[in-house]
Amino acid sequence: MDVAAAKMIGAGLAAIGLAGAGVGIGLIFGNYVSAGIRNPSAAPGMFGNVILGFALTEATGLFALLIAFVILFG
């Protein structure tokens, strides 16, 4: 197997984490909207936790993207 082909395959596998981050962010905000509709008075109190969950989920996606770039260009 050629080294360039192995790099492409490795970067593609590392980028799967980006799909996981997208699903995680969708679940976080979907559940927040669902809970906010059920109990509107509690929605502002949950917003800080939602933003924290969003930041942590997005960070895992960025780490996956970073690893993919390191594999490709490192």
Q: Which candidate, 6, 22, 28, places its Cα nearest to that of 60?
A: 22
CA–CA gap between residue 35 and residue 63 (Å, rounded): 29
Each residue's pLDDT expressed in tens, for the chain with a length of 74 residues: 899 999 999 999 988 988 888 999 999 999 999 999 999 999 899 999 999 999 999 999 999 999 999 999 98
User: pLDDT value at position 40?
Assistant: 92
Helices (H), the chain: 3-14, 16-38, 43-73
Class of domain 3-73: mainly alpha
Six token digits for residue 47: 């917003």
Question: What predicted TM-score, i.e. pTM, was given to this entire model?
Answer: 0.77
